[in-house]
Structure 1
Amino acid sequence: MSPEKAQAYWKENISMILKLLVVWFIVSFGCGILFINELNAIEISGVKLGFWFAQQGAIYVFVVLIFVYVKVMTGIDEKYGVHE
């Protein structure tokens, strides 16, 4: 792989990782800590939404982000010809 292509590959990889980290931060820290009072005004099946995000929602989002990472990274690998 040429140095320019390798640099583009890593730039796209790091960009995607940073986007996923921002989503994870917003869900875990934002919804679980910063916006908990606003979210607690909403109840689903008797459970306050802020509490749910702090206890379970952030974990579910993290697991979904793992699958998103695998899917997107597979596409990036195929685009640059470094897939298995």
Structure 2
Amino acid sequence: MANHKSALKRIRSNEAKRLRNRYQHKTTRTFIKRLKDATNKAEAEELLKKVVGMIDKLAKNNIIHKNKASNQKSKLTKLVASL
């Protein structure tokens, strides 16, 4: 158990950040699934804009690796283009 006041605060803030990161990551994955299930091209293009922004935000905050973000965006863009 932590003995210092700052260590206790760090534990609390780390937990809050962990939950926020988990929520953002899960939400992004849900939107990616929606995009993959989309059949209408216009709808998929609108959703792609939103999903790419979400993926970029995850990469910027180091929730996911930047190369993973690039791979996901590339694959999703190809998917939407093929509709």
TM score, norm. by length of structure 2: 0.42
Which structure is higher in strand share? 1
TM score, norm. by length of structure 1: 0.42
